[in-house]
Structure 1
Amino acid sequence: MEFIHEENRVYIKDEQGELLAEITFPKETDHVCIDHTWVSEKLQGQGIASKLVQEVLKQCKAENLKIRATCSYAKTWFEKHPKEQNWYL
């Protein structure tokens, strides 16, 4: 499964171009805000949402940007991963 990276967005499409999962994270002053995470029923239960958050985290670490979240899934993810708390606002 290959993640497609765009500015402020990471997502997955199938061979027919159907959107299967995405996360959006618009840049704010000196950080990004994860505001949306979605996974199609076709992929639910496979840890895809977690992988999407990790993709954003990897990108933010490379750019030295902190993360804020208004998305409930992302907030919960950071609560469950205390080793990554220093990247979370």
Structure 2
Amino acid sequence: MLYFHWEGFLMNYIWNNDTLSLHDGDTLVAEIGFSTIDDGNTYVVERTWVSDAYRGQGIAGKITTTFITRVQEEGKKLLPLCTYTNKFMQKHPEYADLLAKK
């Protein structure tokens, strides 16, 4: 688990086979759903979700950045099918080298 402080709260990330989730204690705050292709070398981001109670605080960007950092560390590629992640990647050309070719 990876922990971080967010506006006075201690939150933690949990990476599973097909989700990266962010929790505030026992409360699910945000989640990225993904699958893999190309023998596990490419992550396909299918959805990004943030709980209504936590929206408007930059949490979608925070969980997306955490996901991208993991992709970089693993030396893999990213295919953003999710609308949010696709727009995030367009706004952050510094991550362009991570984009998989369709």
Q: TM-score, normalised by structure 2?
A: 0.78
Establish whether residue 14 from structure 1 lines up as the match of residue 24 from structure 2.
yes
Q: Which has the higher contact order (CA 8 A, sep 6+)?
A: 1
Aligned-partner SS, 1:68: strand
> Alpha-carbon deviations, 1:16-54, whole Å to 9, x = none?
x33221001211113010001000111111111111111
Computing the radius of gyration over CA atoms, which structure comes out larger, 1 or 2? 2
* Coordinate RMSD, CA, aligned: 1.3
**Paired residue total:** 88
Q: Distance in 1 between matches of 2:30 and 2:82?
A: 14
Q: Percent identity?
A: 28
Q: TM-score, normalised by structure 1?
A: 0.89
Q: Which runs of 5+ in 2 are unaligned?
A: 1-10
Establish whether residue 26 from structure 1 lines up as the match of residue 73 from structure 2.
no
The structure whose residues are more often strand, as a share, is 2
